[in-house]
Amino acid sequence: MSIKLYDVSFQGYATPSFIQTGANSVTFTNLGTATAYIDQQVPLLQNQSFSIDGNECEITNHVFQVTFDTSVSGATNNLLVILKTYLNV
């Protein structure tokens, strides 16, 4: 079995966005007070996380859509996305 090199990146989002992954794993953590939505299906309340982990050597190319609940006045948008991507694929 050969060693697989990977990188971990951290990116914050405060506006609705499309996120191209190309990653083995992706974690979404809502650090804001507004509810964040992943692909309009997965709601994340403040301090909640959602992770998708692939098996060894698996990569997803899914483009995730991130939106925020704008119905609450004064709520803050702050979604942290952590990606694990292989370097030698």
| CATH at residue 42 | 2.60.120.10
Report how far residue 32's alpha carbon sits from residue 80's, in angstroms, rounded to the nearest whole number.
Answer: 9
Q: Tell me if 1 is assigned to some domain.
A: no
Q: Which structural domain range is residue 35 located in?
A: 6-86
Q: What pTM did the predictor assign?
A: 0.92
Alpha-carbon span 82 to 89, nearest angstrom: 19
CB 26 within 8 Å of CB 50: no
Rounded-to-5 percentages of helix, strand, coil across the chain: 0, 50, 50
Residue 43 lies in a domain: yes
Look at 18 and 57; give whichever has higher pLDDT: 18
pLDDT tens-digit profile of 1-31?
678 899 999 999 999 999 999 999 999 999 9
Domain presence at residue 14: yes
**Per the domain annotation, does 29 fall within a domain?**
yes
Q: What residues does 60 pair with on adjacent strands?
A: 23
Residue 77 domain flag: yes
Q: Is residue 70 part of a domain?
A: yes
The structural domain count of the chain equals 1
55: DSSP letter: P
pLDDT at 53: 95
**pLDDT at res. 2:** 78
For 62-86, the pLDDT digits (tens) are 999 999 999 999 999 999 999 999 9
